[in-house]
Amino acid sequence: MTIQANYSKILHGDIANTLKDMTIPMIFGMITLMMFNLVDTFFISMLGTEPLAAISFTFPVTFTVISLAIGLGIGTSAVIAKALGSANLDEARFDATVALLLSAVLVFILSFVGFLLIDPIFSLLGAGKAVMPFIHDYMEVWFLGSVFLIMPMIGNSVLRANGDTKTPSIVMGGAGVINAILDPILIFGFGPIDAMGVQGAAVASVISWTVAVGIIFHLLIFKKQLLSLNSNGRSLNLAARKILKIGVPAAGANMLTPIAMAVMTAIIAGYGPAAVAAFGVGSRIESIASLVILALSMTLPPFISQNFGANRFDRVLDAYTLAIKFVLGWQLFIYLVLVVSSYWISHTFATEEKVQQIIVLFIMTLPLSYGLQGVIILSNSSFNALHKPMNALFLSIVRLFVFYVPFGIVGSYIADLKGLFIGAAIGNLFTAIIAFVWFMKTVHKLKDVAQSEDKV
């Protein structure tokens, strides 16, 4: 679909149908992305406990690099979508080019530093001598190839800013399939290919990323024509600053979640290994149960940014409120499904009765607030879409460290684990109310400013 076609659809098409058409492909793409990590973990687990432990140690480090990429992707999408909404197509093309170059440079620097400091970094994380060789095997390749991971992520953000969510999903899916095929071949060996062990998993990932880079650049340069080095007098520094202004706070907000989860896990650890195991299962349930929310949080922002650029604040408000209503209703349905399936879920993921009981307790309490959590996530992404990244960062801080974690702690003192889960759910309620009211006021204020400028 051309730029003009997407431009018309987002600015003038039916809001519900447009968001549906943009979101459904993202859901399938995100499922594929989740499978990407599961496939790696599955095959590496067949190598033994120490290789699997080594990969577990890599998650915080790889997540740091990926968080930077996600933040830059958010900034890229917001800047380009606003330019498209303002009908500044040349500016959008130049900004997209700058975003790709900027992301490559920043990730290269971060990964190169990480490559040089593998031993001290992972020693601080608690990795012992037994797992360190496996960490080196994996991370040396991962760091050197990380630029090839980031480029498709930023390229996909450019496509989503244009309203195209189907192509990014196909690219992600294709990379996942390549990775799944190469993993067993490179890890265990096949024919003339020697077994590479843990290093094979990293090589498989880099190869799949590299193929994705080739596809993305072909699409952006030749098919979609969304890249241009012609600045037309525009400042490269200004374009980079626009992206970083949104991207850096977005990356910071993204990194707050694992910090908060680490705090919650530490609290839950006081109730014993069974509680930690059950909470781990609960976290996986949350990622699956919130799949639609996460997909919508990636498709709503381009819609909002383009209409923001076109001063179509009526469509911004309509899209936001429609998404909120849908998420609340959808997540209530998901909650009921989880409750009905709680016995089956608990017995599928655990054999110990105590763990099963805590899983059921978790399902009965915290998932009831997933709709409210969706309000927070969509408000956060929508603030970024309106080029209000500090609002989004502050909202993340308030949600996690003013309400979610503190209310959970207070609840645990009152009613142990049940109180902790209920307290966290209540924290989501308070944050959702603040997020909704704050976003609505922000849009009305921007609308008033735009109307005043039009009169002048």
Pair (215, 296) in one structural domain: no
Pair (368, 430) in one structural domain: yes
Judge whether 89 lies within some domain. yes
- Domain of 282 in residue numbering reads as 268-455
Dihedral sign for Cα atoms in the order 283, 289, 293, 296? positive
What is the predicted pLDDT for the residue at 138? 92
Cα separation, 158 vs 131, in Å, equals 39
Question: Kind and range of the H or E element at 303?
Answer: helix 291-309
Domain boundary among 176, 211, 234: 234
Helix orientation angle between 313-340 and 291-309, rounded to the nearest 10 degrees: 180
Pair (303, 417) in one structural domain: yes
Pair (207, 306) in one structural domain: no
Cα separation, 73 vs 387, in Å, equals 13
Pair (42, 98) in one structural domain: yes
DSSP 106: H
Domain boundary among 234, 257, 278: 234
* Cβ neighbours of 134 (radius 10 Å): 24
Judge whether 239 lies within some domain. no
Judge whether 205 lies within some domain. yes
Give the pLDDT means over successive 10-residue stretches in the chain (456 positions): 59 89 83 69 78 77 83 91 88 91 91 92 81 91 91 89 87 86 91 89 92 92 86 82 91 83 82 82 82 90 93 95 97 96 87 88 94 96 94 94 94 93 96 97 92 71
Pair (32, 133) in one structural domain: yes
Judge whether 426 lies within some domain. yes
Pair (222, 326) in one structural domain: no
Domain boundary among 211, 234, 257: 234
Reduced to 3 states, what is the DSSP secondary structure of residue 312?
coil
Judge whether 35 lies within some domain. yes
Judge whether 295 lies within some domain. yes
Total structural domains within the chain:
2
Pair (119, 211) in one structural domain: yes
Pair (309, 217) in one structural domain: no
**What is the b/e burial string over 345-380, where b = at least 16 CB atoms within 10 angstroms of the residue's CB?**
bbeebbeeeebbebbbbbbbbbbbbbbbbbbbbbbb
Judge whether 256 lies within some domain. no
Pair (52, 176) in one structural domain: yes
Pair (293, 213) in one structural domain: no
Judge whether 325 lies within some domain. yes
Cα separation, 323 vs 435, in Å, equals 14
What is the predicted pLDDT for the residue at 42? 75
What is the predicted pLDDT for the residue at 1? 46
Query: What is the identity of the amino acid at 155?
Result: G
What is the predicted pLDDT for the residue at 260? 83
Pair (9, 151) in one structural domain: yes
